[in-house]
Structure 1
Amino acid sequence: MTDDRLRMTPGPTEVPAAVRERMSEPTPNPDVEPEFFEFYRTLTDKLEAVYGDDDIAILGGEGILGLEAAIASLVEPGDRVLCIANGLYGEGFADFVEMYDGEAVICDGPWTAPLDLEAIESRLEDGSFDVATMVHCETPTGVRNDIGPVLDVLEEHDVISVVDAVSSLGGVPVPTDRIDVCLGASQKCFSAPPGLTVCSISDRAWAKIESVETNGLYTDLEPWRDAADEEWFPYTHLSSNLYGLETAIDLLLEEGLETVFERHEAAATRCRRRAADLGLSLYPDDARSSPTVTALAVDGDAGQLQESMADDHDIVLATGLGDLEDDVLRIGHMGHNARIDRVDRTMDALEAVLE
Structure 2
Amino acid sequence: MTDDRLRMTPGPTEVPATVRERMAERTPNPDVEAEFFEFYRDLTGKLETVYGDDVVILGGEGILGLEAAIASLVESGDRVLCISNGLYGEGFADFVEMSGGEADVCDAPWREPFDLDAIESRLEDGAFDVATMVHCETPTGVLNHLEPVLELCADHEVITVVDAVSSLGGTAVPTDRIDVCLGASQKCFSAPPGLTVCSVSDRAWAKIESFDTKSLYTDLEPWRDAATEEWFPYTHLSSNLYGLDTAIDLILEEGLDSVFERHETAAIRCRERADDLGLSLYPDAAQPSPTVTALEVPGRAEAIQRRLADDHDIVLATGLGDLAEDVLRVGHMGHNARLDRVERTMDALGAVLGQLDR
TM-score (norm 1): 0.99
Asked whether the 8 Å contact 1:142–1:283 carries over to 2, the reply is yes
Distance in 2 between residues matched to 1:199 and 1:231, nearest whole Å: 19
Matches within 5 A, 1:125-144: 125-144=124-143
Instruction: Show the counterpart of 2:84.
Output: 85
Instruction: Show the counterpart of 2:147.
Output: 148
| Offset, 1:27 | 2.7
Matches within 5 A, 1:228-243: 228-243=227-242
Distance in 2 between residues matched to 1:144 and 1:270, nearest whole Å: 17
Distance in 2 between residues matched to 1:118 and 1:44, nearest whole Å: 38
Instruction: Show the counterpart of 2:14.
Output: 14
- Secondary structure in 2 aligned to 1:217? coil
Distance in 1 between residues matched to 2:29 and 2:276, nearest whole Å: 54
Pairing 1:169–2:168 present: yes
- Secondary structure in 2 aligned to 1:19? helix
Which ranges of structure 1 fall in alignment gaps of 5 or more residues?
none
Asked whether the 8 Å contact 1:267–1:343 carries over to 2, the reply is yes
Instruction: Show the counterpart of 1:76.
Output: 75
| Offset, 1:78 | 1.1
| Offset, 1:215 | 3.4
Identity of aligned residues (%): 81
Distance in 1 between residues matched to 2:299 and 2:223, nearest whole Å: 45
Distance in 1 between residues matched to 2:237 and 2:350, nearest whole Å: 41
| Offset, 1:28 | 1.9
Describe the shift of the 1:150–1:235 C-alpha distance in structure 2 as closer, same or farther (beyond 3 A): same
| Offset, 1:286 | 5.8
Asked whether the 8 Å contact 1:182–1:201 carries over to 2, the reply is yes
Distance in 1 between residues matched to 2:312 and 2:229, nearest whole Å: 51
Deviation readout 1:146-185 (Å, 9 max, x if unpaired): 0100000000000000000000000000000000000000
Distance in 1 between residues matched to 2:285 and 2:343, nearest whole Å: 19
Deviation readout 1:309-334 (Å, 9 max, x if unpaired): 00110100000001111110000000
Matches within 5 A, 1:218-229: 218-229=217-228
Instruction: Show the counterpart of 1:26.
Output: 26
Asked whether the 8 Å contact 2:88–2:137 carries over to 1, the reply is yes
Structure 2 counterpart of 1:78, which letter? G
Asked whether the 8 Å contact 2:111–2:285 carries over to 1, the reply is no
Distance in 2 between residues matched to 1:210 and 1:303, nearest whole Å: 47
| Offset, 1:36 | 0.1
Matches within 5 A, 1:187-336: 187-285=186-284, 287-336=286-335
Asked whether the 8 Å contact 1:214–1:220 carries over to 2, the reply is no
TM-score (norm 2): 0.98
Structure 2 counterpart of 1:167, which letter? S
- Secondary structure in 2 aligned to 1:182? strand
Which ranges of structure 2 fall in alignment gaps of 5 or more residues?
none
| Offset, 1:272 | 0.4
Distance in 2 between residues matched to 1:27 and 1:55, nearest whole Å: 25
Distance in 2 between residues matched to 1:286 and 1:186, nearest whole Å: 28
Instruction: Show the counterpart of 2:108.
Output: 109
Structure 2 counterpart of 1:173, which letter? A
Instruction: Show the counterpart of 1:2.
Output: 2
Structure 2 counterpart of 1:105, which letter? D
Asked whether the 8 Å contact 1:76–1:213 carries over to 2, the reply is no
Distance in 1 between residues matched to 2:243 and 2:215, nearest whole Å: 28
Q: RMSD of the alignment, in Å? A: 0.7
Pairing 1:51–2:45 present: no
Number of corresponding residues: 354
Deviation readout 1:227-248 (Å, 9 max, x if unpaired): 0000000000000000000000
Distance in 1 between residues matched to 2:315 and 2:76, nearest whole Å: 43
| Offset, 1:214 | 4.1
Asked whether the 8 Å contact 1:67–1:93 carries over to 2, the reply is yes
| Offset, 1:121 | 0.4
Structure 2 counterpart of 1:39, which letter? F
Runs of 4+ in 1 over 2 A off after TM superposition: none
- Secondary structure in 2 aligned to 1:111? coil
Instruction: Show the counterpart of 2:35.
Output: 35
- Secondary structure in 1 aligned to 2:209? helix
Distance in 1 between residues matched to 2:121 and 2:302, nearest whole Å: 40
Asked whether the 8 Å contact 2:72–2:214 carries over to 1, the reply is no
Distance in 1 between residues matched to 2:153 and 2:29, nearest whole Å: 42
Distance in 1 between residues matched to 2:57 and 2:188, nearest whole Å: 16
Describe the shift of the 1:214–1:15 C-alpha distance in structure 2 as closer, same or farther (beyond 3 A): farther
Structure 1 counterpart of 2:144, which letter? N
Structure 1 window deviating more from structure 2 (22-31 vs 237-246): it is 22-31
